[in-house]
Amino acid sequence: MIWLGIESSCDETACAVLEDNPVKILSNPLYSQIEEHNLYGGVVPEIAARAHLQKIAVIVQKAVKEAHISLNDIGAIAFTAGPGLMGPLLVGASFAKGLAKDLGIPSYGVNHLEGHLSAAWLSNPNLKPPFLTLTVSGGHTELVVENANFEYTLLGRTRDDAAGEAFDKCGKLLGLPYPAGALIGKLGANGNRKFHAFPRALKHDDHGDFSFSGLKTSVLRYVESNTPEFIQENINDICASLEEAIVDILVSKTIWALKKTQLKTLLVGGGVSANTHLRSKLKAYCERKQINLYFPTPALSTDNGAMIAAAAIRRAQEHALLNISEVKPWMPLAP
């Protein structure tokens, strides 16, 4: 069967067309709202919702055209039901359910975080739980064990800012354009990671929770204590030190979770999973400990329609699809 996946939880209007047997991505276009939000240094929910309204039909048409199919070839639609921004979610859900009704096919709401975890599955369709998952993005940072039948056990989550949010907010304090995460990684690759010791909150605590708000405050104080010229002259080293602090806490907490659960498979998803330094450090540890490590491809790390369709296909294969009334968009992935 052919699936249409629609993702509209935040600032990307994304649609994808997938076959489910064998699983294959036929198209996966998206429209990024970076230009709309760059002026404000972050996502403005009302602007995001309007942009989704303007682009969703266009992106769906593009996905169908690039897949070389017609709308009537689609057998089911999957869409993001939450978590996310209420306005953008409403645009995607309304469009998906309206289109499904017009075509006479079913539509299914999908948890956004389950979508991120399904992105790596697209390249590894034989992957079976149980495994440890690290979801790390602009809005979410959490460690969850996925068991059979889509049962989840929460081990820890951020108490304040997400890791991607920390990258963007700290980047803004350093005078970098939004979104800053990828640029910090690029600049930091040529810098000294020991230039400045930014804090690692909760690193040695015996639990899986994260905290990045103190890091943001530390960067603010650092910027206030130095001249703009100093910041610019040493921006590579500062970015390297900042990236090291964020990645260090992500890796440390993941290692804690691996030791606690004794699991030998780690699945990573979310936009920050594209970070080269994070991938390198997790790969090094997992190779030493003979742990199977799975990342999505960089193109599937950020929000996209393919991951939403993939999450629905995974559930369809296990006869565990959800009706929209069963999806709680205001709740995190794990209870």
Is residue 106 situated within a structural domain? yes
Residues 112, 150, single domain; the answer is no
Is residue 312 situated within a structural domain? yes
In which residue are the tokens 């809005």 written?
139
Can you tell me the distance from the alpha carbon of 49 to that of 69, in angstroms, rounded to the nearest whole number? 28
Is residue 334 situated within a structural domain? no
Residues 88, 130, single domain; the answer is no
Residues 290, 192, single domain; the answer is yes
Can you tell me the distance from the alpha carbon of 167 to that of 178, in angstroms, rounded to the nearest whole number? 10
CATH of the domain at 143: 3.30.420.40
Pairing relationship of beta strands 12-20 and 2-7 according to DSSP bridges = antiparallel
pLDDT for residue 37: 84
Residues 128, 216, single domain; the answer is yes
Q: Which residues contact 232 (CB under 8 A, 6 or more apart)?
A: 175
Can you tell me the distance from the alpha carbon of 278 to that of 266, in angstroms, rounded to the nearest whole number? 13
SS (H, E, C) the chain: CEEEEEECCCCEEEEEEEEECCEEEEECCEEECHHHHHCCCCCCHHHHHHHHHHHHHHHHHHHHHHCCCCHHHCCEEEEEEECCCHHHHHHHHHHHHHHHHHHCCCEEEEEHHHHHHHHHHCCCCCCCCCEEEEEECCCCEEEEEEEHHHEEEEEEEECCCCHHHHHHHHHHHCCCCCCCHHHHHHHHCCCCCCCCCCCCCCCCCCCCCECCHHHHHHHHHHHHCCCHHHHHHCHHHHHHHHHHHHHHHHHHHHHHHHHHHCCCEEEEECHHHHCHHHHHHHHHHHHHHCCEEECCCHHHCCCCHHHHHHHHHHHHHCCCCCCHHHCCCCCCCCC
Identity of residue 152:
Y
Per-residue pLDDT of the chain (335 residues; tens, 9 = 90+): 999 999 999 989 999 999 998 999 999 999 998 888 887 888 898 999 999 999 999 999 999 999 999 999 999 999 999 899 999 999 999 999 999 999 999 999 999 999 999 999 998 988 999 999 999 998 899 999 999 988 999 999 999 999 999 999 999 999 999 889 999 999 999 999 999 999 999 999 999 999 999 999 999 999 999 999 999 999 999 999 999 999 999 999 999 999 999 999 999 999 999 999 999 999 999 999 999 999 999 889 999 999 999 999 999 988 777 665 555 443 444 43
In which residue are the tokens 């905290």 written?
211
Is residue 12 situated within a structural domain? yes
- Burial of 126 by CB count in 10 Å (0-12 exposed, 13-18 middle, 19+ buried)? exposed
Residues 283, 267, single domain; the answer is yes
Residues 100, 23, single domain; the answer is yes
Residues 106, 155, single domain; the answer is no
Residues 104, 140, single domain; the answer is no
Is residue 189 situated within a structural domain? yes
Residues 87, 59, single domain; the answer is yes
Is residue 335 situated within a structural domain? no
Give the chain's domain count: 2
Nearest to 266 by CA among 152, 114, 164, 130: 130
pLDDT for residue 94: 95
Query: Which tokens sit at 269?
Result: 């998803």
Its domain, for residue 61, covers: 2-120+303-326
Residues 277, 310, single domain; the answer is no
pLDDT for residue 334: 41
Is residue 331 situated within a structural domain? no
Residues 192, 273, single domain; the answer is yes
Query: Which tokens sit at 327?
Result: 């999806």
Is residue 153 situated within a structural domain? yes
Residues 116, 130, single domain; the answer is no
Can you tell me the distance from the alpha carbon of 101 to that of 214, in angstroms, rounded to the nearest whole number? 48
